[in-house]
Amino acid sequence: MRRRIALAVGGAAVLTASLISAALAPVAQASPGLIAAMQRDLGLTAAQASARLTQEMTASRVMPAAQRAAGAAFGGAWFDPARGELVVGVTDPAVAAAVRQAGAEPTPVAISAARLDAAKAEIDMSAKTEPAPAAVSGWRADPRSGSVVVAVRPGAHGPEVEEFLVRARKAGPVTVVTAPKAEPFAAGTVGGDPYYINGNTRCSIGFSVHGGFVSAGHCGGTGSPVVGWDGSAMGNFAGSSFPGNDYAFIRIGNGWWTAPVVLGWGTVSDVLVRGSWVAPVGTSVCRSGSTTHWHCGTVLGHNETVNYSQGAVHQMTRTNVCAEPGDSGGSFITGDQAQGVTSGGWGNCGSGGETWFQPVNEILQNYSLSLVTA
């Protein structure tokens, strides 16, 4: 069948033999369109955007070794754009030299990532038996503040919120901030280049996997039929999870095929997918969706819980990339590395906002899938 995908190289990364070392330092070669999008959304010059892509790719590859070097003293990691390198929090100065040797810059923190993650997990478990009030937007472990950050809607007060905060503080240190309520970015049927569920809901394709593609779980339940942008049958939801998670696997047939491509929508060249290295906090990330097309921003946090009106969703990644209804399920990608599928957020692409995605590696693992890569 005819598809409108153009298999153009974009956002590709090239590793020279001399750079295949413990740090696996890559050299980024991005399409001109990708550089332009980063200039627009991140306020960078072309040279700064190109240099940042290379630095971020290095940070992604350094992070696993740096975490191993820190061991039990690991206090989280994030990319520092000002330094152009990965920063690793450590609770024990004795491991600083090993972290630095692994290619990251150590910095002292008060509490380990394991302790913070355990505190957040305890809050997650508590919220399963006694759901968080609607005024609570979500919560996340924040290594830089050494606390679990609980986001509450502006102006929200009352005994339910206070009771939730009391339970949260029993798990560990808590910092309270205000933030708008996030909601999934699903939409009714409109034109564009979408896929449709049950004939009346539009979402966006995330990434091609062998046998189909992955997207957001709130878009449809297991067994729901799916049609493509041209109205022809694609397949069905073979698996779906929402809330708790927000991911799905759609198995395709009927002449549809898979390609290792993220659409650039004319803003950038279509981007080839070559893997799924996890981008550290602080790195740039771009999103493709059927409503607002291509936008870029920064990874703000990992392993966050978002309290949607339908229920809490765990292990999400927060970004300051904008999105709107219909973008749900669409691709988040850094360079040529798949990051996750669009879940929900607040704001829009006129005034800005924040968007969360479900990490793609979790989806692949849960459904025993593998990415289609170039």
Pick from 73, 64, 33, 63: nearest CA to 49:
33
Backbone angles phi, psi at 16, to 5 degrees: -80, 155
Q: Which of 215, 240, 241, 328 is catalytic?
A: 328
Q: Which residues contact 16 (CB under 8 A, 6 or more apart)?
A: 27
Q: Residues 135, 149: contact at Cβ < 8 Å?
A: no
**Sole residue written with tokens 């004795």:** 94
Tokens representing 276?
């799924």
Q: Which residues contact 26 (CB under 8 A, 6 or more apart)?
A: 13, 14, 15, 19, 54, 57, 58, 61
Active site residue 270: no
Q: What is the pairing mode between strands 174-178 and 147-152?
A: parallel
State the greatest distance between any 2 C-alpha atoms of the chain, in Å, as a whole number.
61
Angstrom distance (rounded) from CA 286 to CA 37: 9
Angstrom distance (rounded) from CA 113 to CA 143: 7
Q: Residues 280, 345: contact at Cβ < 8 Å?
A: no
Residue type, 31: S
Q: Residues 317, 338: contact at Cβ < 8 Å?
A: no
3-class DSSP state of 43: coil
Alpha helices per DSSP H over 45-193: 46-70, 96-101, 113-129, 159-171
**Sole residue written with tokens 């890559």:** 26
Q: Which of 41, 124, 142, 246 is catalytic?
A: 246
Q: Which of 218, 293, 302, 314 is catalytic?
A: 218
Q: Which residues contact 170 (CB under 8 A, 6 or more apart)?
A: 122
DSSP 8-state class, residue 2: -
Angstrom distance (rounded) from CA 285 to CA 250: 24
CA distances 141 to 114, 165, 246, Å, are: 10, 15, 19
Active site residue 328: yes
Active site residue 142: no
The set of catalytic residues is 218, 246, 328
